[in-house]
Amino acid sequence: MSKKLPYTPKSQIRSALRRLFLRSRERAAALKRDKYTCCRCGAKQSVAKGRAVKVECHHKDGVTNWTRIFDVIYEELLCDPAGLETLCRECHKKEGEG
Protein backbone atom coordinates (compact mmCIF):
# COMPACT_ATOMS: atom_id res chain seq x y z
CA MET A 1 0.00 0.00 0.00
CA SER A 2 1.32 3.45 -0.84
CA LYS A 3 1.96 6.10 1.77
CA LYS A 4 -0.49 9.01 1.87
CA LEU A 5 1.01 12.35 0.93
CA PRO A 6 0.71 15.16 3.50
CA TYR A 7 -0.81 17.38 0.80
CA THR A 8 -3.35 17.05 -2.00
CA PRO A 9 -1.52 16.11 -5.23
CA LYS A 10 -1.78 18.37 -8.28
CA SER A 11 -3.30 15.52 -10.31
CA GLN A 12 -6.25 15.40 -7.92
CA ILE A 13 -6.72 19.18 -8.13
CA ARG A 14 -6.57 19.09 -11.93
CA SER A 15 -9.14 16.29 -11.99
CA ALA A 16 -11.51 18.22 -9.71
CA LEU A 17 -11.14 21.36 -11.84
CA ARG A 18 -11.85 19.34 -14.98
CA ARG A 19 -15.02 17.90 -13.41
CA LEU A 20 -16.06 21.43 -12.46
CA PHE A 21 -15.50 22.68 -16.02
CA LEU A 22 -17.38 19.73 -17.55
CA ARG A 23 -20.44 20.70 -15.48
CA SER A 24 -20.07 24.48 -15.85
CA ARG A 25 -22.70 26.82 -17.23
CA GLU A 26 -20.05 28.49 -19.39
CA ARG A 27 -19.24 25.21 -21.15
CA ALA A 28 -22.93 24.40 -21.60
CA ALA A 29 -23.55 27.87 -23.05
CA ALA A 30 -20.69 27.47 -25.56
CA LEU A 31 -22.00 24.08 -26.70
CA LYS A 32 -25.51 25.47 -27.07
CA ARG A 33 -24.27 28.58 -28.90
CA ASP A 34 -22.42 26.43 -31.44
CA LYS A 35 -25.37 24.02 -31.69
CA TYR A 36 -23.19 21.07 -30.63
CA THR A 37 -21.30 21.39 -33.92
CA CYS A 38 -17.53 21.47 -34.50
CA CYS A 39 -16.49 25.01 -35.47
CA ARG A 40 -13.69 23.69 -37.71
CA CYS A 41 -15.12 20.77 -39.69
CA GLY A 42 -18.86 21.14 -39.04
CA ALA A 43 -19.32 17.68 -37.50
CA LYS A 44 -22.45 17.59 -35.36
CA GLN A 45 -22.62 15.70 -32.07
CA SER A 46 -24.44 12.39 -32.47
CA VAL A 47 -25.14 9.28 -30.43
CA ALA A 48 -26.33 7.26 -33.42
CA LYS A 49 -25.00 3.71 -33.29
CA GLY A 50 -22.01 3.31 -35.57
CA ARG A 51 -21.85 7.08 -36.22
CA ALA A 52 -21.25 8.43 -32.73
CA VAL A 53 -19.52 11.82 -32.65
CA LYS A 54 -18.61 13.71 -29.49
CA VAL A 55 -17.83 17.42 -29.44
CA GLU A 56 -15.75 19.09 -26.73
CA CYS A 57 -15.09 22.64 -25.61
CA HIS A 58 -11.62 24.00 -26.29
CA HIS A 59 -10.05 27.07 -24.65
CA LYS A 60 -8.97 29.18 -27.64
CA ASP A 61 -6.17 30.82 -25.66
CA GLY A 62 -5.33 27.60 -23.82
CA VAL A 63 -4.92 27.27 -20.07
CA THR A 64 -1.30 28.31 -19.77
CA ASN A 65 -1.20 29.39 -16.14
CA TRP A 66 -1.63 26.04 -14.35
CA THR A 67 1.25 26.86 -12.01
CA ARG A 68 -0.44 30.06 -10.84
CA ILE A 69 -3.78 28.26 -10.44
CA PHE A 70 -2.17 25.52 -8.33
CA ASP A 71 -0.29 28.11 -6.25
CA VAL A 72 -3.49 30.04 -5.45
CA ILE A 73 -5.35 26.84 -4.56
CA TYR A 74 -2.54 25.69 -2.25
CA GLU A 75 -2.18 29.15 -0.64
CA GLU A 76 -5.85 30.07 -0.21
CA LEU A 77 -7.87 26.85 -0.09
CA LEU A 78 -5.55 23.94 0.72
CA CYS A 79 -3.47 25.87 3.21
CA ASP A 80 -1.43 24.41 6.06
CA PRO A 81 -3.64 22.73 8.71
CA ALA A 82 -2.30 25.27 11.24
CA GLY A 83 -4.31 27.90 9.35
CA LEU A 84 -7.57 25.93 9.72
CA GLU A 85 -10.00 25.49 12.59
CA THR A 86 -13.05 23.33 13.13
CA LEU A 87 -16.36 25.18 13.54
CA CYS A 88 -20.00 24.18 13.71
CA ARG A 89 -22.13 25.23 10.76
CA GLU A 90 -23.67 28.19 12.65
CA CYS A 91 -20.31 29.58 13.83
CA HIS A 92 -18.89 29.10 10.33
CA LYS A 93 -21.77 31.14 8.85
CA LYS A 94 -21.15 33.92 11.40
CA GLU A 95 -17.42 33.88 10.64
CA GLY A 96 -18.12 34.19 6.92
CA GLU A 97 -20.36 37.23 7.51
CA GLY A 98 -17.64 39.16 9.36
Q: Is residue 70 part of a domain?
A: yes
CA distances 85 to 5, 8, 9, 15, 92, Å, are 21, 18, 22, 26, 10
Q: Is residue 74 part of a domain?
A: yes
The whole domain housing 58 covers 10-78
DSSP result, 42-75: -PBPB--TT--B------TT----HHHHHHHIII
Structural domain total, the chain: 1
- Give pTM, 2 decimals: 0.76
Q: Is residue 95 part of a domain?
A: no
Q: Is residue 20 part of a domain?
A: yes
pLDDT per residue, tens digit, the chain (98 aa), is 668 888 899 999 999 999 999 999 999 999 999 999 999 999 999 999 999 999 999 999 998 999 999 999 999 999 988 999 999 999 999 987 75
